Amino acid sequence: MRLMLAPMEGLVDDALRAALARIGGYDCAVSEFVRVSASCLPAHVFRRMVPELDHGSCIHGMPVRVQLLGADPGLLADNAAVLASLKPAAVDLNFGCPAPTVNRHGGGAVLLDEPERLYAIACAVRAVLPAALMLTAKMRLGVADTARALDCAQALVEGGVAELVVHARTRDEAYRPPAHWEWVGRIGEVVRVPVVANGEVWTVADWARCCGVAGVSDVMLARGAVVDPFLARRIRARGEPHADDEALRAAEWRELCPVLAGFRDQVMRKVKPGHAAGRIKQWLNLLRRRYAQAELVYQRIRPLTAMAAIDEVFAAAGVVAGTGRVM
């Protein structure tokens, strides 16, 4: 059984990966996509976007795979060669992004209409990677329907993809529930590589149902992991009953406070001062779905833009800036 942390561009960057890895429960993570559109990106761009590359492609023991997004096999291969020199935990290819700006340029989920192109991309990228470096891919079920889902999965595996994450929705379904977990099982029946289920896993019960329906034991958590940073750990501890959910949430919140402080510190080091408040509010806005304490902090910091004022609210809530351990 494996649990993976999903790529989420604009939401999960190295700062949030560090926070979630510190809480633990993940076997690996995939970085947000690095977009390959016109040129061969220099190494420093990969290292800036995925700073874990300078630390063995790992954060708090969690290996980080790096995702590429693009449409041109040759260009993707050139970029993959640069990336490979930085020794990522694996190279991942994105065939799931539904964003119109990305799809208009032929990248992301729109490629699922062209299994031949998927094959060409996988072959070209595989050819430039050292034998020991794994090539993986993340796909949706199709663009408008699932008619070519099996062809796409087979094309990727024939091209050299050694593990496939299936986000069990079409591009047109965007992020709307349900996720069609049964399709993960169908894909698993036609390829000889590990298949990982993804989509709509928010709770331990969702995880159990997803594994049952898909017939797999490996799951990638995405939005659920950000709303509930302890989800992976609770999935691993599923045999242990918790009599009192409120007490559990209170204990989790206490453990989360220094992690939030570390996140705050890392964000402050990374982004321009004017952007830090937005990043911190973004995570708290999601955390308040599970933690009443996060709701209180969020409501207080919502109108604030100055980090000094936010730090005062944090300090009163026990989230003390400068105390968070990172990297």
Q: In the complex, which residues of this chain contact ligand FMN (CB under 6 A)?
A: 6-11, 32-33, 67, 94, 96-97, 138, 167, 175, 198-201, 222-224
Q: Which is nearer to ligand FMN, 94 or 266 (CB)?
A: 94
Query: Least distance to ligand FMN from the beta carbon of 250, Å?
Result: 26
Q: Which is nearer to ligand FMN, 6 or 307 (CB)?
A: 6
Q: Which is nearer to ligand FMN, 201 or 257 (CB)?
A: 201
User: How many residues belong to the chain?
Assistant: 327
Coil, helix or strand at residue 133? coil
Query: Least distance to ligand FMN from the beta carbon of 34, Å?
Result: 9
Which residue, among 197, 114, 212, has the nearest Cα to 163 in the 3D structure? 197
Query: Least distance to ligand FMN from the beta carbon of 306, Å?
Result: 26
> Residue 69 and residue 138: Cα distance in Å, rounded?
10
**164 neighbors 198 (Cβ within 8 angstroms):** no
Catalytic, 152? Answer: no
Q: Which is nearer to ligand FMN, 10 or 241 (CB)?
A: 10
Written as one letter, the residue type at 290 is R
Q: Which is nearer to ligand FMN, 4 or 120 (CB)?
A: 4
Number of neighbouring beta carbons within 10 Å of residue 308: 8
Q: Which long-range contacts (CB under 8 A, 24 or more apart) does 192-196 make?
A: 192/157, 193/157, 193/161, 193/162, 193/163, 193/164, 194/162, 194/163, 194/164, 194/218, 195/153, 195/163, 195/164, 195/165, 195/166, 196/2, 196/4, 196/163, 196/164, 196/165, 196/166, 196/220
Catalytic one of 28, 58, 97, 257:
97
Rounded to a whole number, what is the largest CA-CA distance in the chain? 57
**71 neighbors 106 (Cβ within 8 angstroms):** yes
**95 neighbors 31 (Cβ within 8 angstroms):** no
Query: Least distance to ligand FMN from the beta carbon of 281, Å?
Result: 15
Give the residue at shortest CB distance from ligand FMN. 222
Q: Which is nearer to ligand FMN, 90 or 319 (CB)?
A: 90
> Residue 61 and residue 123: Cα distance in Å, rounded?
31
Query: Least distance to ligand FMN from the beta carbon of 297, Å?
Result: 22
Query: Least distance to ligand FMN from the beta carbon of 92, Å?
Result: 8
Q: CA-based Rg of the chain, rounded to a whole angstrom?
A: 20
What residues act catalytically?
A: 97
